[in-house]
């Protein structure tokens, strides 16, 4: 199916548009890049070009440091990486990021 994300700037109460996000899959002892995207004005990003999902570990790397600098904010996180496992490739996997300059949270969305 697919992997999507949504980044919300909880410090300012709005979507985090224009953030770079990298999708990778676990490959041997490392990670193999599948696709890159940027969040849109609503803070959402899709990875349609990543190909079909398989049973594997995946990782989203959010370029939060670049995004903070671009918005004029100072943040503690140069990047945020969220690793997760896909057990049913036929399901949609939505992985949101709730972000502030000094904290973040995530969950499996729908």
The predicted-structure confidence for 15-30, as pLDDT tens digits, reads as follows 999 999 999 999 999 9
Residue 108, pLDDT > 80, answer yes
- With bands split at pLDDT 50, 70 and 90, how would you rate the model's confidence at 48? confident
First to last CA, the chain: 13
What is the predicted pLDDT for the residue at 49?
Answer: 78
Looking at domain 3-106, its CATH class is mainly beta
Residue 52, pLDDT > 90, answer no
What is the predicted pLDDT for the residue at 1?
Answer: 63
The percentage of residues in the chain with a pLDDT greater than 90, rounded to a whole number, is 89
Question: Strand 93-94 to strand 103-106: parallel, antiparallel, or no bridges (unpaired)?
Answer: unpaired
Residue 3, pLDDT > 70, answer yes
Q: What is the 3-state secondary structure (H, E, C) of the chain?
A: CCEEEEEEECCCCEECCCCEEEEEEEECCEEEEEEEEECCCCCEEECHHHCCCCCEEEEEEECHHHHHHHHCCCCCCCCEEEEEEECCCCCCEECCEEEECCEEEECCEC
Task: Kindly report the pTM of this predicted structure.
Answer: 0.94
The predicted-structure confidence for 4-15, as pLDDT tens digits, reads as follows 999 999 999 999
């Amino acid at each position: 199916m697919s992997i999507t994300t949504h980044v919300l700037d909880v410090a300012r109460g709005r979507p985090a548009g224009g953030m770079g996000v990298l999708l990778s899959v676990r490959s041997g002892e490392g990670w193999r890049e599948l696709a890159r995207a940027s969040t849109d004005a609503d803070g959402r990003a899709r990875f349609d070009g990543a190909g079909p999902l398989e049973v594997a570990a995946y990782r989203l790397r959010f370029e939060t440091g670049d995004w903070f600098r671009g918005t004029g904010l100072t943040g503690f996180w140069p990047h945020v990486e969220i690793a997760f496992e896909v057990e049913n490739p036929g399901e949609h996997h939505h992985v949101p990021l709730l972000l502030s300059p000094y904290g973040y949270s995530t969950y499996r969305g729908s």
